[in-house]
């Protein structure tokens, strides 16, 4: 059993004796693709330590399969990209009293290793101002690689809008936990949040409100690009979702021609679902999709485009299947791999490899197993987001103010931690699972404090499900480690729910 002070738990951890002392003369050695990670590390360590660490990039460039040949001076941190010989891409971290060596298969996993190193430093490292602390790193050996390559968080910016600064802050929180995908739910009945040049009223009219009637908002293309680039600097991929054919009242209210009767509905500020649908029979619908998918694909360097497809209760079966056939073909023509909520598995005409996102329960209902089988038969994998386990918008407890309760009542931290994606009885095992995603729907969330309160600490459980091997999962151990780790959340000024399942330090 691991007792690593690292979240999510590493595959192998062994504690040595003594420590490495980080000082303002510590040099970071890194070259090639390790260099941007070294720059990130130096920047990360700077606010709390006050150090401006030097980066030496004169060593050998990325090692291939040979061992590290350069020997950085004593008191150094060496970051190297090269073969680790692990079962899947990961990193090796060795801390001795004289040097720290971090080696990873690629820059992404080097960055993940830096997050472990960060967590070995005193909690005060998370502070935004200089702290008078001995910056000791305990001597350890860590061997680590993720169980799943897709480790996501979803943010619904449609029900309530969150500005670029909030999204960046969220991305930084995610990187601490080795999460590497941000799924942005950009469009819904209550708002359209991404500017589309060829259909400007989507934002001019469709972005001006939110649940409860707030002001709304949207990302300009420059805003969206700023998010994508910031995410990339944290090795996080952005997955944009344009939810169709349902969840489209904002688009329908902005463009009357997208409605079968050419009448634009009023903007919607409630929280019902399943009442809107694009008009399936009109050619303009597909012209619209082609333009939107093209513009969003052009802005998005990541491989995925999410088409939603959930809760299309106002679309007949026949229309839904026709729509999905046409819409997925158009989306795929713009070069992206597609993702759809599991209902999209009703279609047998999906582009090969379309990924399904499972949002039914840990004990599946409503033919969800059949939908999943359909994706797999069509060559796709699954992203697992069981609503009663990792929907971060569910209440923590019935007497909480924030959150919804439809997924069988509250979702405790215990619920979020004690499930296994490969044990849901829908015939999927690790090989069919691309990864895990924890969604935050925002019907009841409209500010960054509430957002973090819903997300933490349950997202730490989600991250451990996504990264750590099943054998490392242990509820009692997790809650103990979380209690020890909580001063880090405090130092980082992260709001979190001090759930009574954890003996938080006073």
Nearer to ligand TNX, 155 or 176 (CB): 155
In the complex, what is the shortest distance from the CB of residue 39 to ligand TNX, in angstroms, rounded to a whole number?
38
- Taking alpha carbons only, the member of 85, 80, 56 closest to residue 68 is 80
Q: Write each residue from 101 to 130 as x if it is in contact with ligand TNX (CB under 6 A), else as -, in one continuous string.
A: ------------------------------
Nearer to ligand TNX, 108 or 310 (CB): 310
Return the SS3 of 319.
helix
Q: Which residue, chain included where needed, has tokens 């054998």? A: 471
Determine the straight-line distance between the first and last CA of the chain, rounded to whole angstroms: 26
In the complex, what is the shortest distance from the CB of residue 309 to ligand TNX, in angstroms, rounded to a whole number?
9
- Taking alpha carbons only, the member of 402, 452, 391 closest to residue 166 is 452
In this structure, what are the phi and psi dihedrals at residue 455, rounded to the nearest 5 degrees? -75, -45
Q: For ligand TNX, which residue of 341, 375, 453, 496 counts as binding (CB under 6 A)? A: 341
In the complex, what is the shortest distance from the CB of residue 415 to ligand TNX, in angstroms, rounded to a whole number?
15
Nearer to ligand TNX, 323 or 391 (CB): 391
User: How far apart are the C-alpha atoms of 82 and 233, rounded to whole Å?
Assistant: 20
In the complex, what is the shortest distance from the CB of residue 310 to ligand TNX, in angstroms, rounded to a whole number?
4
Nearer to ligand TNX, 109 or 306 (CB): 306
Q: Is 359 in the site for ligand TNX (CB under 6 A)?
A: yes
User: Which residue out of 226, 311, 400, 405 is catalytically annotated?
Assistant: 311
Cβ 414 vs Cβ 475: under 8 Å: yes
Return all residues near 132 (Cβ < 8 A) that are at least 6 apart: none
From residue 312, how far is each of 302, 320, 405 by CA, in Å? Answer: 27, 8, 21
Return the SS3 of 156.
strand
In the complex, what is the shortest distance from the CB of residue 436 to ligand TNX, in angstroms, rounded to a whole number?
15
DSSP annotation of 89: S
SS (H, E, C) 308-339: ECCCCCCCCHHHHHHHHHHHHHHHHCCCCEEE
DSSP annotation of 265: P
In the complex, what is the shortest distance from the CB of residue 433 to ligand TNX, in angstroms, rounded to a whole number?
18
Q: Is 405 in the site for ligand TNX (CB under 6 A)?
A: no
Structure tokens at 203: 């934002």
318 is catalytic: no
User: How far apart are the C-alpha atoms of 223 and 398, rounded to whole Å?
Assistant: 37
Q: For ligand TNX, which residue of 404, 469, 474, 484 counts as binding (CB under 6 A)? A: 404
Nearer to ligand TNX, 30 or 407 (CB): 407
In the complex, what is the shortest distance from the CB of residue 209 to ligand TNX, in angstroms, rounded to a whole number?
16
Q: Is 391 in the site for ligand TNX (CB under 6 A)?
A: yes
Q: Is 402 in the site for ligand TNX (CB under 6 A)?
A: no
Output 363-366 pairs: Cβ under 8 A, ≥24 positions apart: 363/424, 363/425, 364/424, 364/425, 364/426
Q: For ligand TNX, which residue of 54, 273, 314, 321 counts as binding (CB under 6 A)? A: 273
In the complex, what is the shortest distance from the CB of residue 313 to ligand TNX, in angstroms, rounded to a whole number?
11
Q: Write each residue from 201 to 240 as x if it is in contact with ligand TNX (CB under 6 A), else as -, in one continuous string.
A: ----------------------------------------
Q: Write each residue from 297 to 326 as x if it is in contact with ligand TNX (CB under 6 A), else as -, in one continuous string.
A: -------------xx---------------
CA–CA–CA angle 109, 299, 335 (5° rounding): 80
Nearer to ligand TNX, 97 or 269 (CB): 269
Dihedral in degrees, nearest 10, Cα atoms 414, 418, 419, 422: 160
Nearer to ligand TNX, 106 or 443 (CB): 443
Interface of this chain with ligand TNX, residues 412 to 471, rule: CB under 6 A:
441, 443
Cis peptide bond upstream of 245, omega within 30: yes
Q: How many residues bind ligand TNX (CB under 6 A)?
A: 10
Nearer to ligand TNX, 29 or 306 (CB): 306
User: How far apart are the C-alpha atoms of 219 and 314, rounded to whole Å?
Assistant: 28
Q: Is 329 in the site for ligand TNX (CB under 6 A)?
A: no
Q: Is 398 exposed, middle or buried (0-12, 13-18, 19+ CB in 10 A)?
A: exposed
Interface contacts to ligand TNX, rule CB under 6 A: 273, 310-311, 341, 359, 391, 393, 404, 441, 443
What residues are labeled active site?
Answer: 311
């Amino acid at each position: 059993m691991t007792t690593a002070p690292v979240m999510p738990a590493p595959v192998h951890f062994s504690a040595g004796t003594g420590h490495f002392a980080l000082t303002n003369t510590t040099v970071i050695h890194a070259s090639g693709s390790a260099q941007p990670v070294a720059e990130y590390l130096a920047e990360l360590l700077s606010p709390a330590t006050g150090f401006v660490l030097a980066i030496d990039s004169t060593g050998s460039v990325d090692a291939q399969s040979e061992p590290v040949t350069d020997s950085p001076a004593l008191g150094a941190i060496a970051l190297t990209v090269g073969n680790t010989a692990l079962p899947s891409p990961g990193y090796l971290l060795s801390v001795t009293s004289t040097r720290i060596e971090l080696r990873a298969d690629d820059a992404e996993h080097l960055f993940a290793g830096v997050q472990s190193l960060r967590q070995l430093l005193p909690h005060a490292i998370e502070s935004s101002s200089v702290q008078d602390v001995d910056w000791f790193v305990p001597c350890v050996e860590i061997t680590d690689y993720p169980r799943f390559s897709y480790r996501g968080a979803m943010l619904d910016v449609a029900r309530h809008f969150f500005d670029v600064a909030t999204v960046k802050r969220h991305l930084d929180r995610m990187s601490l936990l080795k999460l590497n995908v941000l799924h942005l739910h950009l469009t819904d009945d209550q708002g359209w949040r991404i500017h589309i040049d060829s259909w400007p009223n989507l934002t001019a009219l469709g972005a001006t409100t939110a649940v409860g009637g707030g002001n709304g908002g949207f990302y300009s293309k420059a805003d969206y690009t700023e998010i994508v680039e910031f995410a990339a600097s944290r090795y996080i991929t952005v997955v944009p979702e344009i939810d169709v054919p349902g969840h489209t009242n904002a688009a329908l209210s902005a463009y009357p021609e997208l409605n079968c009767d050419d009448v634009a509905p009023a903007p919607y500020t409630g929280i019902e679902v399943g009442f809107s649908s694009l008009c399936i029979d009109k050619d303009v619908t597909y012209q619209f999709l082609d333009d939107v998918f093209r513009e969003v694909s052009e802005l998005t360097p990541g491989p995925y485009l999410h088409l939603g497809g959930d809760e299309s209760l106002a679309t007949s079966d026949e229309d839904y299947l026709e729509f999905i056939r046409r819409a997925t073909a158009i989306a795929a023509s713009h070069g992206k791999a597609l993702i759809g909520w599991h209902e999209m598995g009703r279609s047998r005409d999906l582009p090969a490899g379309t990924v399904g996102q499972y949002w039914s329960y840990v004990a599946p209902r409503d033919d969800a197993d059949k939908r999943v089988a359909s994706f797999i038969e069509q060559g796709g994998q699954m992203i697992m987001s069981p609503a009663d386990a990792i929907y971060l918008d569910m209440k923590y407890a019935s007497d909480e103010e924030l959150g919804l309760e439809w997924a069988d009542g509250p979702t405790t931290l215990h619920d979020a931690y004690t499930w296994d994606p490969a044990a849901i009885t829908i015939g999927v095992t690790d090989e069919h699972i691309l990864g895990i995603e924890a969604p935050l729907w925002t019907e009841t969330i409209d500010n960054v404090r509430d957002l973090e309160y819903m997300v933490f600490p349950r997202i730490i459980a989600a991250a451990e499900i996504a990264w750590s091997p099943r054998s490392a999962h242990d509820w009692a151990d997790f809650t103990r480690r979380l209690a020890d780790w909580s001063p880090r959340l405090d130092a980082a000024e992260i709001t979190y729910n001090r759930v009574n399942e954890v003996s938080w330090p006073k």
